[in-house]
Amino acid sequence: MAMRLGLGRRCLFAGTRKDVPEVLACASIYLQSSRVEGFGIAALEAMAAGLPVVASDAPGLGELVRGAGEIFRVGDAEACAAAIRMLASDTGAMARAKAVGRLRAQEFSIDACAARYARLYLECLEDAR
């Protein structure tokens, strides 16, 4: 499709990568324009890497990014472009998205999730007594 649209020289389809942290370190903004997304782990990884995130409001993804990045309606290319332009031109918004994104990523760290599971298990044990 990229070739048919005349974008072949502007697109890189890199396939499976084992160097995601290095790839993210080269980026300025992370975009995820999914129509359907179960959770959005890639967006979470981008937030953890300190990238501001622009994402579609797909179920799962929208909930993850909302308040920590810019959201646009699924399929709305104009709103997507506007969100990217806004972040690229507003250093304050870029800094806020980076900071809040890092905090959001910490909420889903292994330690934070393990602690929540441990609390849940303890509550269940107490309720069973």
Structural domains in the chain, CATH included, are 19-128 (3.40.50.2000)
**Separation in Å, CA 6 to CA 3, 50, 115:** 5, 32, 50
Q: Assign 129 a pLDDT band (cuts: 50, 70, 90).
A: confident
Contact 43, 64 (CB under 8 A): yes
* Chain segment 7-30, per-residue pLDDT in tens: 888 888 889 999 999 999 999 999
Q: Which helix (H) or strand (E) is 56 found in, with range?
A: strand 53-56
Per-residue pLDDT of 20-78, as tens digits, reads 999 999 999 999 999 999 899 999 999 999 999 999 999 999 999 999 999 999 999 99
Tell me the C-alpha distance between 47 and 32, whole Å. Answer: 12
Residue-wise over 89-115: b if at least 16 C-beta within 10 A, else e?
eeeeebeebbebbeebbeebeeeeeee
> pLDDT tens for residues 77-93?
999 999 999 999 999 99
Give residue 53's identity as a one-letter amino acid code.
V
pLDDT at position 79 is: 98
